Amino acid sequence: MALAQESPDAQLPGLMCHTVGGYRLSDVRVVAAFDVDAAKVGRPLAEAFTAPSVSATKFTQLGIDRDSPVLPAPLLDGLDGPLGTLVETSAAALETTSESVAKALVDHEVHVLVITLPTGASQAIRMFAQAAIAAGVTVVNATPEKLARDEDLRRRFADAGAVLLGDDLRSHVGATSLHTTLIELLISRGLVPTSTYQLNVGGNTDFLNLADASRSASKFDSKANALRAAGLTDVAGAAGPTGYIGHLADTKVCFANIKATSVLGSELEIDVKLTVEDSPNAAGVIANAVRAGQTAVDRGLSGSVDDASALLFKSPPHGLPESEARASFLNFAS
């Protein structure tokens, strides 16, 4: 969201939509953040960005948002697994409740809450969803946790007049987008995929957390959902995080392979490697998702909004092939 400090008329590289529902990125403000890290809680946003656990590059100076507070969140299961050895828990987080989070959302006049908690932190993620319902706040679920795909939660958001977008935010040009685009290309040419894999390694705290099999299960499910939406059925395959390599820091490396049967029974194989800086690769998608969430509210929508979700998330309630999802979102954004 720091990109919101750029000129309102700037055409930013990698930002798919200059406006969504009439909103420019300069219309978005970060008014508060929540965390459990003792190095972040109680500090302004600009200082929290330099905490030891943050490996992302500092691309731009914060402007009006630099002094926004980092508030405590309930710990729950947020630091279960390897993250518990890396992050010191704030004392305030041990005393914070869902009710206090809901109150903070109201007090800080939050319109859209982006949930970016560690994969597998089911209790903590659902706590934020409950707090958002209580506060009538729209949610962008960037995690693989099943929120937008939960029929009861969708109904409760609708009853609260709030929008729920998710699940599992895609990167702008990431492993899933690359993989599904290649699959769609092959299928559109009449080829029949026979096997595929997508293996991802990285060195940030996300990959450290995903190195624990008990935390990464929902990520593998989400990746599988994305492949099915791209048209893969009954095909031998695997996709998901496969390793933590500390010295890679915020670099993510994807190895993807697809084999398919082509004309006259001939065989085709695609073998690609994608290397990206992981954290900023999500920034443009979050920028679209936040503006889409507010646009949906402006239009009197509530609950899950399919037209805004299929392109932005790996595991939306109703997945679509890449080209159809893009057309659907651009039509919604206009």
Question: In this model, does residue 86 exceed pLDDT 80?
Answer: yes
Q: Are residues 166 and 182 in the same domain?
A: no
Residue 215: give the domain boundaries.
175-278
pLDDT at 3 over 60: no
Contact 183, 195 (CB under 8 A): no
Query: Would you place residue 285 in the very low, low, confident or very high pLDDT band (cuts 50, 70, 90)?
Result: very high
| E strands, the chain, in order | 19-20, 23-24, 33-35, 70-72, 112-115, 138-141, 163-165, 192-202, 236-244, 251-261, 267-277, 303-304
Per-residue pLDDT tens over the stretch 51-77: 888 877 766 778 889 999 999 999 999
- pLDDT > 90: percent of the chain: 85
> Same domain for 286 and 261?
no
What is the predicted pLDDT for the residue at 4? Answer: 44
Q: Are residues 103 and 141 in the same domain?
A: yes
Q: Is the confidence at residue 16, as pLDDT, over 70?
A: yes
Tell me what the pLDDT averaged over the chain comes to. 93
* Residue 141 sits in the same domain as residue 24: yes
Q: How many domains does the chain have?
A: 2
Q: What span, in angstroms and rounded, lies between the C-alpha atoms of 70 and 43?
A: 6
Query: What is the arithmetic mean of pLDDT over 97-107?
Result: 97
| 287 and 155 within one domain | yes
Say if residue 39 is in the same domain as residue 97: yes
pLDDT at 64: 86
* Predicted confidence band of residue 2 (pLDDT cuts 50, 70, 90): very low
Q: Find the CATH number of the domain harbouring 20.
A: 3.40.50.720
159 and 18 share one domain: yes
218-242 pLDDT, tens per residue? 999 999 999 999 988 878 888 999 9
pLDDT (tens digit per residue) in 168-221: 999 999 999 999 999 999 999 999 999 999 999 999 999 999 999 999 999 999
Question: 39 and 143, same structural domain?
Answer: yes
Residue 223 and residue 294 in one domain:
no
Burial of 124 (0-12, 13-18, 19+ CB in 10 A): buried
Q: Which two tokens stand for residue 334?
A: 């206009």
At 10 the pLDDT is: 62
